[in-house]
Every structure is written in structure tokens, then in C-alpha cells.
Structure 1
Amino acid sequence: MVATLRFTLWLAVAVVAAAVLGWLFRAVLTRIAPANAARLLRSAPLSASFGMAVIVFYLLVAILAPTIAPFGEREVVGAQFMPASSEFLLGTDNLGRDMFSRLIFGVRNTVSIAFITTALAFAVGAVLGLLAATVSGWIDQLLSRVVDVLMAIPALIFQLLLLTIVGTSIINMILVIALIDSTRVFRLARAVAMNIVVMDYIEAAKLRGEGLWRLIIREIMPNAAAPLVAEFGLRFCFVFLSISALSFLGLGIQPPTADLGSMVRDNATLITFGEVTPLLPAGAIALLTVAVNFVVDWMLHRASGLKE
């Protein structure tokens, strides 16, 4: 009973702190942003404001990692599993490296690789999806059937299989995850574009003699931007979780490069002794995922045209 009350109290404190942080971040942004952007930010709910604050925090940590971290990413600075102290804020890991420094570099590595992978998946999936919807015919059928075959295999199992075959370098991991996730982007881009290509202004553009790629870039892509941007945020979350899961299983980012997923695996032994340190990388993964989803939910709500 006492444990439940304590957990409820901590949860309430966390919710209030998140709401206050979101309100403060929104207040600051509305003061420094241009008029149009400030008007848009004022309409953002506290959850989206909190999500934007967390995303900005992660970006700052990723950019300033070498400056913030007290020790190097691969530097052995003490004995194994030393407790937290003034010198080692979160203690040391299984090899004697500073956990706080590894956590900072792990955020930088995981976030940057996830962003690059998501951007590549969108560059492939969105372009092919818009192309298939615009051209239709046998090109649409061929691409759709290839995507159906790739999507028939569970994503994590497919990733493990391909990485076992091609190797576990960072480049291979980016290419494999981007290939598999581009199929999901293809499906969304094609579905959105199919509703656009039948519009009268598309027919008018064709009658004007617009070329294929000009038609896609100038007419279709701007009208499909809202759901695709929202999907980018969701897809980033899935890629972020995929990279962490693969690293936890030993087929993602390889040691000694810091990564949130491998940090959970390497220090899982501490959980049996009541230490929460291994849960901090998992918490960092969950926090960014929730923050991005808050922002994406707000964007989807705005794009839908629904009122509060």
C-alpha cells in the first residue's frame, strides 16, 4: 500500500513538472518567435510543448556531447560498477567507464543514427510511393507487390536476418532499417497521393503539359506534406526503438561506441542488486519516444482540421 502511494505521488509530481516545463517552454518560444510562429505555438497543448522542450534538450545534448561529458566516450576511468559519487555522477559500467558520459554520447549516437536512417527511409519510400500513385499501371503494381513481400516478414526478424548476412556495421544497419521502414512510408505516401491525383487541379496541370517530376514536386508533394511530416515523427520513434532493440540483442551499434540499447544490456546485472542505473538508458529511450509522439499527435490534430 505504501509503495503504491509513493509511486502515485511520484507520478503526480512528474506530471506536474512536465506540465510546468511545457508551459515555460511555450512561454519562452512565443516571446522570441516571429508573429506567425508565436500564434501557432500559443495553440499548442501543454503535452506538445513538453514534447518540443524534450526534443530541443536532446538535440542540445547531441550537439554539445563532447563539451558536457566529463569523460571520453571510451575512456576507462575507474573500477567496475562503482557507485554514484561526486566524481562519477551515475557510477561506472561493467568496464569502469563513466555512465554519465556514456549516456550523453549514447544519446548523440542513437539519435543521430536514427535521424539519418529515418531520412533515408523517407527519401526512398515517399518518392517511390508518390511515383507509383502518379504513374499507376504496371509500375504501381510492381512496386506494390515488392512492398507486400517485404512487409509480410516481421520487421525485427527481417532486420536480424539481414544484419546476420551482411554484417553489423553502422552503415549496414542504417541501410537495412531504412530499406525495411521505407516499405511503410511507401504505403502511406501512395495512399495519400492516390486521393490527390484524382483532383481537378492535377488534371489541369497535366493539360498544361507539366512533366512527371514537376507534377510530383509542385502539385502532389505540397498537398501530401502534412501526413508525411507526421509520419516522419512516428517513423523516427520506430527506428529509434529498432536501433536500441538491435543493440540490446548485439546486432546494432557495436562496442565500444556508446548506445542506449547496449548500455541497458551491459549493465543489466545491477538490477538484481536494486540499482536503477541500467534503467536510465531505457528511460532516455522512452522519454524521447513519448515526446515525439506528443508533438506528432498535435500535428495530426492540426492537419485533420478538427476543433478542440
Structure 2
Amino acid sequence: MTHPRTNSRRRVTTGSRLPVASPARRNRPRLHLIRWVGLGLFGFWVLVAIFGPMLAPHPMSAFVSDEIYGGASTANLLGTDYMGRDMLSRILTGARYTVGLAIIAALLSSLIGAGFGMLTVLLPRWIEECIRRVFDTLISIPSKMMALVMVSAFGTSIPLLILAAVLSYAPGAFRIAHSMATNLATLEYVQVARTRGEGKLYIAAFEIMPNMIQSVLTDMGMRFVFIVLLLSGMSFLGLGVQPPAADLGSLVRENIGGLSQGALAVIAPALAIGTLTIGANLLIDSLSTSRGSQKE
């Protein structure tokens, strides 16, 4: 027979234990902060891309001052560029090209890559091999080299820049989607759908895609960041968006001569590119981390 004191001691010890927060729960406030910071930065530039040209105080190409690389003032909040144009107006207008082209190219890259990645799992083996070889060939070419070759061959235009970005980053989206779809295609519910006689498109759209949509969206966010940097790099080389239009990369290239003077004309667009990519990275990282902690 157990002694009564021993039982009471056990009850006190057991009842005095406090629940310990899991690592995921302890990290939740930090994840929320990162998510809101990323969402704020990214959302700000999306709003600028939509409404920026309407809010610009001056036309993009208007000469508003005789002072080049002018500092911040009440008339020109971000100073003037190398030709005396208002930098705030040029950034508000140029952000539409940077954000808009990157979003379009990222959407097309993910749609093409994920679409082929799912369908190839359900197609005959020889067709899957042919499609995989095509994407493997494209992914072996560096993105900037592909863009430079295409621009050198066909000239610079906005549709060509989008096409170059899609050809550069759709293969990566294909490989990720194909890997996930291959694993999902072996699961029981997909086999049951095949046994019911469902078509390949139905299986891809309603059985496989819903279970990989979060990973595809996360990958699309990363493609967006890569494409922003690609388009900005092309514009910095003078092979991107051409005058009289300009994106953020073009604004950096135009005013690079003012870097030694610390001119806002070169610092402001560079900071704009940095905050856009940092915001997108923080948002993607918080979403992917929270998804992983939910699984745990």
C-alpha cells in the first residue's frame, strides 16, 4: 500500500507543473512583426505602382529646376536629378514599371512552370522526359546572359523583357512544382481519383494543385524578387526600360554621376529597390516559416 504522504506529494508536484510554450508559439510574435513589416513595405510599393503617377507633383520629364543633383526642399522633396527634374515624380512614376513588370513576369513564370510541372506527372513517360529536357536546358543558362542575348538579338522592348524574365525563371518554378507533384501523385487520394476514371486535367486541378498551392505562391514571391533584381540590373546597363519611360534601375543609372556627391537622385531609387525586395523577402519568409510551424 502506498503511503498517503507520497500520494499527496505526487499530486502537488504534478499540479504545480506549468505548461511550457512550444518554440512555434514563442516565435509567433516575432513572425507577426516580420510579416507586418514585410507586408507594409511590399504593400506600399504596390500602392505606389498603382496610384503613384496620379500623385506625382510634376510630369515625369518636366524640368522643374536649374539646379542639378539638388537636395531636398519644399519644392522638391527628394531633390532633382542630373537634368533638374523632380526625383519624387520620377520615382512615383518609375515604380509602376519595376513593380508591374516584375509581377506580370512572376505570375507567368509560376503559371507556366507549375502548370507543366503538374501535367508532366500525368502524361506519358516520353513526353515528360522531353519537357524536362527543355526546362533543364533553359535553367542551365544564367538569367542575365539569356536576357543580354535576347536583347542583343531582338532589341529592347517591354514585352521582350517580360519574355526574357519568364524564360529565365519558369524552369526553376517547373522543377519545384514537378518535384512536389511527383510526390503527391503517389498518394492514395490521387490513385482513388484515377480509379474513379477522372481525367488528367481534373486530377491536376482538383487533387494535386490544392495541396501545393501554398508552396507555389511562396516560390512565386521569390521569383518576384529575382525578377526585380534582373530588370533593375538590365536597366542599370541601359538595356531595360528605355527613355522617355524609366524604371527604378534606370533612375539609378541616369544619376550615377551624383554618387560621389551623395545626391538623393541616386540614393532614393536605390533605397526604393532595396525596400521593395526586402519587404517581399520578409513577407515570404514569415509566411513560409508560419506554415512550417503550423505543420509541427
Q: Give me the TM-score of the superposition, normalised by structure 2.
A: 0.86
Q: Which has the higher contact order (CA 8 A, sep 6+)?
A: 2
Instruction: Say whether 1:119 aligns with 2:107.
Output: yes
Corresponding residue of 1:155? 143
- State, as a whole percentage, how many aligned pairs show the same letter: 38
Question: 295-304 or 140-149, which moves further after superposition?
Answer: 295-304
Aligned partners of 2:60 and 2:89 also within 8 Å: yes
Instruction: Say whether 1:58 aligns with 2:45.
Output: yes
Equivalents in 2 of 1:290, 1:170: separation in Å?
Answer: 25
Alignment of 1:39-118 (within 5 A): 44-79=31-66, 80-118=68-106
Instruction: Say whether 1:263 aligns with 2:251.
Output: yes
Cα distance, 1:42 vs. partner? 7.7
Residue among 264, 274, 277 paired with 1:286: 274
Instruction: Say whether 1:215 aligns with 2:184.
Output: no
Alignment of 1:199-238 (within 5 A): 199-238=187-226
Cα distance, 1:253 vs. partner? 0.9
Q: Which amino acid in the other structure matches residue 43 of structure 2?
A: V
- Match of 1:64, SS? helix
Q: Which amino acid in the other structure matches residue 74 of structure 1?
A: S
Cα distance, 1:294 vs. partner? 1.1
Per-residue CA deviation, residues 122-180 of structure 1 (Å, 9 max, x unaligned), is 12111111111222501111111111111112111111111111211001111111122
Corresponding residue of 1:254? 242
Aligned partners of 2:62 and 2:85 also within 8 Å: yes
Residue among 163, 169, 189 paired with 1:181: 169
Q: Give me the TM-score of the superposition, normalised by structure 1.
A: 0.82
Equivalents in 2 of 1:190, 1:303: separation in Å?
Answer: 20
Label 1:231 to 1:136 Cα distance change in 2 as closer, same or farther (>3 A).
farther
Corresponding residue of 1:164? 152
Q: Greater Rg, structure 1 or structure 2?
A: 2
Question: 153-162 or 297-306, which moves further after superposition?
Answer: 297-306
Equivalents in 2 of 1:264, 1:294: separation in Å?
Answer: 24
Aligned partners of 2:78 and 2:264 also within 8 Å: no
Equivalents in 2 of 1:307, 1:190: separation in Å?
Answer: 22
Aligned partners of 1:243 and 1:252 also within 8 Å: yes
Q: Which amino acid in the other structure matches residue 189 of structure 2?
A: Y
Equivalents in 2 of 1:272, 1:137: separation in Å?
Answer: 59
Gaps of 5+ in 1: 1-40
Per-residue CA deviation, residues 74-129 of structure 1 (Å, 9 max, x unaligned), is 22222333333211112221222211110111212210111011111112111111
